[in-house]
Amino acid sequence: MTVSWKELFPSKLSLIIFVAYILLFVSQGVLVTASQKSDNDYDYNIVTVVLLTEVLKLVISSLLYCREHKPKELVLDVVKNRKVLVLYFVPAFLYCLYNNLAFINLSSFDPTTYYLLLQFRVVVTGVLFQIIFKKTLSKKQWISLFILTCGCMLKQVNFTKTEPDSTPNTKSTSVKFGLSAVFILVQIICSCLAGVYNEYLLKKQGADINIFVQNVFMYLDSIICNVLLLSVTGDILSAFIYENIVKVFHYKVLVVMFNNAAIGIVTSFFLKTLNSILKTFASALELVLTAVFSYVFFSIPIYLNTVLAIVTVMFAIYLYSQNPVQNTAKAGRGVEQEGLLKEEEV
């Protein structure tokens, strides 16, 4: 059987979005790790960084909308669709937790292991996809998801007696029944629920709303959620004093923020043109590049288990590509948004 590339990527833009999504996410793990101190901790307030990143995303989305519309129209659209704005608090809260936990978990695991552990969300995503969109995955799709999960688990198997448990430049790669494991589990749940629910808003409740307006909804709600998180942790005052702000505006942290902002914008297009299942497989491909980049920049070795895991994951992706899941946007407004997306390609 041949790969259904036209079904997998309906347009050139969808392929570009897919590739950009992978590269940006791989870069994020590497950049966050590079911004850490020698003890794998952070010299800056991670909640403040996430908050300022959401502000940056809000500004970018607003500017993109105002290229074709007046600022007054943006305000009117927000007021008109305030019910959808409220609905966005659900994925905004989940992404708030997800983004903050990403920093915490990357301080406990090396980038390759971190992305590996996140791959256990595949089954959860498949179940949520069926429940929300009422589209049953085929037997082959479930088999491909199972193979993908097995491939990720292979990374934890030690095939050589000489492979050390750790190296001076490598963090612990074993999942322990402790706080780190709990944080990873919470992040996986947040990722699955937020991704599928966000896709539901993009294609159902908000199908007739301009994609940039939907982004504004998401980032406004995310800003509120992060401010609340700062309040709960008691850092809302200390986070914005001069000494802490200077640390946030270090060039390494700024690169993390801008890269994360780009991820947010690209992800919204990804979910609009593709789907959460394919998003999961994009995350699997990140393992390949992350392993390579981790070796190049942090001298984290690539063992036999890593190679076998990558090969297994690639086979699962091939199997899935023969019968991809697709959701089509609503007619009318969907055509207009497709035009906006094509314009973005230019």
Which residue do the tokens 């003890």 mark? Answer: 39
Q: Which amino acid is at 343?
A: E
Torsion angle of alpha carbons 256, 232, 60, 70, nearest 10°?
180
pLDDT at 118: 79
CA distance 253 to 255: 5
Q: Sign of torsion, CA 62 64 67 69?
A: negative
145 in Cβ contact with 325 (< 8 Å): no
144 in Cβ contact with 316 (< 8 Å): yes
pLDDT at 149: 78
CA distance 67 to 250: 31
Q: What is the rounded average pLDDT of the residues 320-330?
A: 55
pLDDT surpasses 60 at 333: no
208 CB neighbour count, 10 Å cutoff: 13
Which residues constitute the domain of residue 318? 5-345
pLDDT at 223: 95
pLDDT surpasses 90 at 100: yes
Q: What is the rounded average pLDDT of the residues 275-280?
A: 63
Average pLDDT, the chain: 78
List of residues 6+ apart from 146 with CB closer than 8 A:
123
Residue 157's pLDDT band, with cuts at 50, 70 and 90, is confident
Residue 52, CB half-sphere, CA atoms under 13 Å: how many?
A: 21
pLDDT at 162: 53
Q: What is the rounded average pLDDT of the residues 164-183?
A: 55
CA distance 198 to 270: 11
pLDDT surpasses 50 at 226: yes
* Distance in Å from the first CA to the final CA of the chain: 34
Least confident of 68-82, 95-109, 213-227, 300-314: 300-314
pLDDT at 279: 64
90 phi/psi in degrees, rounded to 5: -65, -60
Residue 340's pLDDT band, with cuts at 50, 70 and 90, is very low
Residue 53's pLDDT band, with cuts at 50, 70 and 90, is very high
pLDDT at 296: 86
Least confident of 2-6, 114-118, 142-146, 274-278: 2-6
pLDDT tens digits, one per residue of 282-294: 766 777 788 888 8
8 in Cβ contact with 198 (< 8 Å): no
271 in Cβ contact with 202 (< 8 Å): yes
pLDDT at 277: 62
CA distance 61 to 211: 9
CA distance 91 to 198: 6
pLDDT at 8: 66
Full DSSP string of 106-130: HTTS-HHHHHHHHGGGHHHHHHHHH
Residue 139's pLDDT band, with cuts at 50, 70 and 90, is confident
Higher local confidence (pLDDT), 6 or 211: 211
Residue 154's pLDDT band, with cuts at 50, 70 and 90, is confident
Which of 58-92 are b and which e, b meaning 16 or more Cβ less than 10 Å from the residue's Cβ? Answer: bebbbebbeeeeeeeebeebbeebeebbebbbbbb
Tally of domains in the chain: 1
